[in-house]
Structures are given as C-alpha cells and as structure tokens.
Amino acid sequence: MSRIRNLELSSNWSWKQRETSVESVLDEAGADGWKTAQAYPSEIHVELLKAGLIPDPYLGFNENKVQWIGKVEWMYKCTFEYTADSHETHALLEFLGLDTLCDVYLNGQKILVADNQFQTHVVPLELSSLKPQNILFLHFKSALHLAKKLEAEMGKVRAGSTNLGDPSRVYVRKAQYDWRWDWGPQLMTCGPYRPITLKTYSARLQEVQTHALLSDENAPSLKVDVTLEPAPLDASLRVVLSDASNKTVLKSEDMPVSGSSLASAVAWDLKGVVEPWWPVGYGEQNLYTVSVLLLSANGQTLDESTTRVGFRRVALVQEPLEEPDQYGTGTSFLFEVNGVRIFAGGSNWVPADNFLTTIAPERFRAWLTLLRDGNQNMVRLWGGGVYEPDVFYDVCDELGILVWQDFQFACGVYPAHDSFVASVRKEAEDNVRRLRHHPSIALFCGNNEDYQMVNQWGDVPSLPAVKLYEEVFPEVVAALTGPQPIPYHRGSPYGGKGWDTADPTVGDVHQWNIWGGKEFPYHDYVKLGGRFVSEFGIPSHPEMKTIEYWMDGAGAEQRHAQSALMAQHCRAGTFERRFAILMNDNLRVTEDLETYVYNTRLMASEGVGYAYQVWRRKWGGPGKQYTGGVLVWQLNDCWPVTSWAIADYFLRPKPIYFTIARQLATYSVGVLRTVIKNRSNDRPAQYYEYGNFQSYGATLEIWGTNASLAARSATLELHYVDLKSTWTHTETHAVTLHPNQATELLSIPCPGPPRDAAAPSPTADEQFTTTHTVVAGARLLDAESGAVLARFADWPQPFRFVEPVLLRDPKLRVEVDGATGKVTVSAERPVKGLWLSALGDGADVKWSDNALDVMPGDPQVVVAQGLNGRGVGVAFLGKEKTHKP
C-alpha cells in the first residue's frame, strides 16, 4: 500500500474556439489554433482578454461587443504525465467546478457529461486508461443555446423582468446572474473555473464528517464519521484534534479498520478542553483542526483529511411574541447562537466578479473584513450567484460572520422534471457536504423570491420547484447536517399563509416598496418592516474615480447623469424614474454630474441609515424581539456599476457603508421627530413646512441600543442648533442602556428658539413654532469617563427646503496629523454628510469613519490610512463638489 497521490492539473492548459465545420470535436485536439492558457483555473473571457482578442467588457460599451462569446463553443485541453506505481489500485479525476455544459474526454474516451455548474464531479478511472503522456480534453457548449432549446421543448415560463436575464435561464444549472441582473452585465462565461485533480491510491478517505457539537449547557463534544474507499486491509485510523496554534489538544489511539465505514470513529467529551466559537462581538472565534489519518500496517500515512471546526450550536427561533407591535403579534424570526439571541445586522452578497477565476483569496478576505469592520455580523449569499469557494467560508469562520446560504435559485418558475430534480439533489448534497462543518453557517435557504414573484404575478398556476424547496432541500439538510442540524428556511422571503411573503408578522420580508414597488418615501421604512428584513436598499453612484474608470476616456457628451454610458453601467429597472422620485423628494435638482453623484450617495446613506435605525429599535427585550435582523441589499458589486452596493467593485466604501456601521455599533442612539401639523391631512409626514402647511411643534422620541450583554450607564446629551439664528440649547439626562436590546430613553417636545430670537416667521399665527429649522443632536456619553459612545443628528427635512445659504459656510476646520493619520474635523455650524477624500493622485485611503454629521462643539477624529502626505478634500450638503477646506 502506498500514500495517495494528488496531482492537480494546474499547468499545460490551452484553449481554442470550436470550429463547427469539423465534424468530430476530437479531431480538433491536434488541430492548429490552440492558445496557451494564461490562468488556471480558467474562464474564456479572461483568456480572450489576456490574449488581446476582446476589449475589456467592464469599460465603456464593451459589454455589448462580446456577446458572441456565449453563443459559440469552446475547448480546453491539458497534457499531463503519469508514472505508474505498482501499489496503486485505483484512480479518479475530481472536477470541483465546470462552467457549465461540458463533455470531458481522457485520451480520446468520453468520461463525463457535465451540465450543472454547481456540482462536484468525481470520475472513477481504470488505471489502464492512464498513459505516461495523457490528454484531458474539455468541450464546452453554449448554455444560451441549450436554455432556448429546453424552453422550446418545455414551455416559456416567467422569470423576473427584462433586467433579470432571459427567462430560459431557469432550465440550465448555471449561475443565473450570468444572464444579466439589475446590477450586473450579461457575460455568459465558460471554462474549468475550479481545480481538477487526479488521485491515484490503494485506499483513501472517501468522506470524513465532523460533528463539532455544543449541548444546551454549552458543553462541547466531537464525533467523527469516516467512509473509506475501498475497505483497506491491515490499516488503521488516527484522529487528532489541534488548536489554532497547531498544538495537539487530543489524540486517539490507532483504531483498526474492519470495513469501509466507521460511524463515530471518535466520540469525545471536550468539556473544559475546548472553547466555543462565537459570532463577532459576542466572544472569540475559537477554531480547531480535526485531522484524520489513514495508516498502513507499518504506520505509513496512506491518506489524510483536515477539517477546521468550531464548537457552536445555532437555532432559528420562530416563537409567539408576547405583545403586539404595530403589525400585530405573530412570531419572531431571529438567530440564537450558543443560547444567546443575536440581532443580525449585515449585507447580501453577490459574486464579487463576473469572472470568478479572477477573485483571489485576498479579495474575498478584503470584502469580508470590510463587512466585519462595518460592525456587521451576517452575510446572506443570494440565490442567483454561486456557492462560493471554501476560502469564503473559512474567512467567515475566522472573522465571526454568520452565513445565510441560499440554494442557487432566484426570481423564476423553475422546473421539477425528474432529471432536473436529480441533478439539483446532487448539487445540494455536494454543497451541503462541503459547507456543513463551518461554524459560520447559520441557515440554508431554498430560494430567492420565487414564492414572492409567483404571488406578485398572479397569473402563474403553479410553482413546480416547491418539490425542491419543500421536499428535496430540507431532506438533504436534515440528513447531512445532523445530529445538530443547520436550520433550513424554504425561501426568502417566506412566512405567511398561502405564501404571503409580505406578511410582516411572520418569517422574513424583502422590503422594496421604497425604491421599487409602490415607491413610497424612504421615511416610510418605519411603517414597512417585519420580523426579519433580509433585503432592502436604495442604490447610489460609486465615487467619481470609479465612474472615470468605466468612462474610459469618453467625451463630455457622456458626462452627465442621463447619458447612454451612465445607463450602460446602471442596470436597475426604470432607474431614471425611480432615482428622480427619491432625489426630487429630498434634494435639489442638479445637472452637474459630480453634485448629482454626491446627492445619490447622501440619499442612500440617509434612507438606509434611517431604516437600520428604526428597525433595530424594534429589537426589544424577551418576548419583544419584533425585528430579529436587517440585511441590506447589497454589500458588493461584480463589475464597475451604479447599484445598491454599499462599497463599489474596487472595494471603495460609499457613505452608506459608514452610516450602517454607526447604526450597528455596540452602542447607538436614535432620534425620531414627529411633526405636529396645522392640518391633519398633511402628507407626507417628513415634510416639516411647505405651502400653507405649518407646524405647531414637534416631539422627539429618543432611544439607545446596546448590543453587549451587560447594562451600561450613560449620559444622554441633547444639543439643539437653529439653522436660521444663533439660538442653541443643551440638556443632559442620566440613562441606562439595557443589555442586548433597544431601550426607550425619552419622549419630549422639540425645543426651538423663542420668537424674538428666531428668524422672521412667514405668518403672524402665534400657534406656529420655530422648530422646523432646528437640528437636534444626540450623544451618548460614558457615565464615568465622558467618552462618546454614540452620536446622531436629526435634521429638518426634506433637505431641499433647507436654504443653501444656511449650509455653505459652516466654518469647517480639518486638521491632519501626518504622523498618525488622524484627521480632526470641527465646525461652528452644523454640517450634513461630510465626505472626506484624499486630494491628488495615489492609492485609495482607508477611512475609519466618513460621511459625518458634525455638530458645533463636538469635534470628531477619523483615522486615514494611506494618506501619505496628501491633503484632505471635503464635500457636504450645500457644497457637494470636492474642495479643499
């Protein structure tokens, strides 16, 4: 017996376009025209781009010039050597990912027909089929053509809208966003996008399942199940548990192997030996490595498996609420980890590139670190992308980020014929097996918006794929993740009776009635929540640096918000109309591109920040956890684009990123102003003063949130500043923030300047008040040290009614300490939406905070990494173009 040999086929790859005039595809293996592959794993657009044969699809209008690539066929081949070993009796080829329709030939013999991008393919080989010199040949066919062929055979179904790809996509198990989405291009990729490995052996570890368990009393234990192939003679198993520093924690005796499987090869009680794994903010991310060694009679290692685990238990809690909220009673929808109920604040994830092979491990880590540093603790992997590679989940384990994992179905009426169901069952089994050991995995979810769309359309008689969502997936998850199964949720959104995916009293909701749907004002978020908001958002432009990138030197005629090139890089349906509604509701109209870009970013920041604020307020104490989590759409982009992303394709955070970070900090403070109008039929509520409608006054509701598990004594400081006069007012209150919940602090009238100090009123009616020009600032200060725990400034709205003359000269000061990178900002008058940026050329700067509201007497310190001697530019409401302060 000899040690298993793993030969990853990482070199000697070449590619070419299929010549359809050649009758047999195998005849092309030795033909001319093959080009050396420049990357491994490989994707055909990337190869064409590196070879200089296509323009960069991410620039200008170039996406339109490469559509032909998805309509033709492509071929790859790899040559590799094999040296026979007399001790080896078995061989296989393992394909971790083929995109998507691929016939595989080894030395001229077809060994695999693949038609599912999400499956792992393991192909047993006869040793005699391997030669000293071998050719692996891959023939990729057009997913576009197959989709239309199957549609013609089985019928056209509904699948999203025109900006969510061609409906035929539902018939092919390929990443659905490749067909185009409302934030991404249509780029029909193909190629061996994940590693291919030749394994030769006499015996191997076919499957190792680790069960890192945590009891209801948080007592850890470990069970390990092992399957061998074939059943070896005179062999034994050894199991070793190591900590993060590679120190052995526990090691088993060598166990003789008597068959092909060992259930509970070890069953260890680890109380007092290991520590639990916790999500970020709740404890340490303790990780351990389980090594399983298959040993020969003389102690030689034949095969070895290593699995990194964390000891935790996770539950999806859906229980009756004790008291009704504005929606009624219903049930909670929240996550509990190791017995602690956690408010899940986070983001949705889409693939970080259309060309998956270009995403290096460091890029995954950078994205997820950005999420973690933004005080987020959950990421939802949306159902129209891919099951990400192992490194994604490894990083989530390390950073303490909980993962909501959709199965890959999105916005469509998917089929459920026998062959399709069988393919999807294997897809689910492959990926649940691969992911189940990660402590970060908190939920598997059946689909994205399939139930919701059927409800909205109203003309679809059935949803065949309920067989998948309600039978296949829960069966697979339960069978493969026991004895402490990972929770399963059949769809997102899902909850109410009769698939009522908009029921705010049960399950999760996607709240799109602000940007799309009914296009309500964003201040209506306070009325439009639910038990768990798993999607919502407002799009915004990336910064000008990113826009200049996709402009690619375009002329002045393209440099305005409504140009064709700006539209090429904004895929949201009827985006101009929807932007116009939100923008015109809240901000002054402009035709200057830089000002417009700033305004979209401020609008998204204000609207989404407001949603996080009012929904997190509903995380009450036991029995009153009315909203268990909020996940913004979306964290990231797959190409340079205007979208809902809170950081753009180049990982450049938008203002919205920093606003969310403040709302999800351990401590936050919220202010909700309710304006008392002179007419009860005045609408909308957020408009303070206009026309003949005037305010009699306003009340302020003030609350604080505490994500820690201990109560916190604090001082609430309220500072009021009138924009039209010199009047100010300050008051303080002693408060206590209860642990792991929002605490209501005050409900008080909003003060304003006395009439003799205020600006002249447009009316003589003494009932009218002067609060409509007052900025109300709130700070939570540590009760002992006075350190600022949280701050928030509530401004009069809409911003378009705030006179520009009141905004343009706030006496802003920006002081830069070049040695430490500290930037101190202060102002004599209130500043809204202060955006800091580096002046001049150079690498991107990492800001510890940004998009600031600055109040007089409250200087704020920001750390800028990478400023490297450059000056700091500013932009803010009233002076939206970047300038030197």
Q: What positions carry a catalytic annotation?
A: 449
Tokens of 405: 């994992």
Give one word for 832, left, alpha or beta, with left for phi > 0 and alpha for psi -120 to 50. Answer: beta
C-alpha 475/C-alpha 813 separation (Å) is: 61
- Taken in order 314, 316, 321, 325, the sign of the CA dihedral is positive
Which residue carries 């949280």 as its tokens?
790
Residue 860 CB neighbour total at 10 angstroms: 17
Contact 669, 617 (CB under 8 A): no
Q: Under DSSP, is residue 814 helix (H, G, I), strand (E, B) or coil?
A: strand
- Taken in order 461, 464, 468, 472, the sign of the CA dihedral is positive
Compute the residue count for the chain.
Answer: 885
CA nearest 536: which of 621, 631, 417, 602? 631
DSSP structure class, residue 207: E
Looking from the CA of 219 toward its CB, the CA atoms found within 13 Å total 7
C-alpha 831/C-alpha 810 separation (Å) is: 7
Which residue carries 């990113």 as its tokens?
546
Pairing of strands 378-381, 402-406: parallel
Tokens of 220: 């850890």
* Helix H or strand E encompassing 601: helix 593-616
C-alpha 633/C-alpha 614 separation (Å) is: 17
Query: Omega of the bond prior to 590 within 30 degrees of 0, cis?
Result: no
User: CA-CA distances (angstroms) from residue 696 to 680, 688, 690, 751?
Assistant: 11, 10, 13, 12
Which stretches within 515-574 are classed as H helix? 544-551, 564-568
C-alpha 116/C-alpha 137 separation (Å) is: 18
User: CA-CA distances (angstroms) from residue 240 to 23, 212, 336?
Assistant: 55, 14, 30
Angle at 440 between CA 436 and CA 441, to 5 degrees: 45
Residue 417 CB neighbour total at 10 angstroms: 12
Pairing of strands 402-406, 441-445: parallel
Strand blocks (E) in 678-727: 695-706, 712-722
Name all contacts of 25-29 with Cβ < 8 Å and 24+ positions apart.
25/75, 25/103, 25/139, 26/105, 26/108, 26/137, 28/75, 29/77, 29/108, 29/135, 29/137
User: CA-CA distances (angstroms) from residue 320 to 323, 332, 339?
Assistant: 9, 6, 18
CB-based contacts of 209, cutoff 8 Å, min separation 6:
224, 225, 226, 433, 436, 437
C-alpha 388/C-alpha 359 separation (Å) is: 11
Residue 577 CB neighbour total at 10 angstroms: 9
Query: Omega of the bond prior to 762 within 30 degrees of 0, cis?
Result: no
End-to-end CA distance of the chain: 74
Contact 323, 329 (CB under 8 A): yes
